[in-house]
Amino acid sequence: MHYLLFYQVSPDYLQRRQEFRDAHLTLAWEAHEKGELLLGGALTDPVDTAVLLFNCESPEIIKQFVQADPYVQNGLVTSWTIREWKTVVGKEAASPIKPVI
């Protein structure tokens, strides 16, 4: 199943992230190497949200990621939300649906 993790980041996120960035990226790349995190990054203009795409069986895996994330632990993330994303188009779609012709 695909899930989107949305992070709302603090107004001083860009100024403070450098201190925690290596630890955050280490966590993210470890999740990627396990096949759980497919993509992640911040939205730009404005930088107020980050989005991470997970491929896992349960949102519990994502909750564990959030709890371990230095950005969350140190207040750079002010709130977060997990949403199930029913993907239907593309090679990696969790529930592919082709047109009936």
- List of domains in the chain: 2-85 (3.30.70.1060)
- Confidence label for 21 from pLDDT (cuts 50, 70 and 90): very high
**Predicted local distance difference test score (pLDDT) of residue 77:** 98
- CB burial of 64-84 (b: ≥16 within 10 Å; e: otherwise) equals ebbeebbbbeeebbeebebee
**Predicted local distance difference test score (pLDDT) of residue 8:** 98
**What would the mean pLDDT of 4-30 be, rounded to a whole number?**
97
Maximal CA-CA distance, the chain: 55
Given a cut of 90, whether residue 1 has pLDDT beyond it is: yes
Quote the mean pLDDT of the chain. 97
**Predicted local distance difference test score (pLDDT) of residue 101:** 85
**Predicted local distance difference test score (pLDDT) of residue 10:** 97
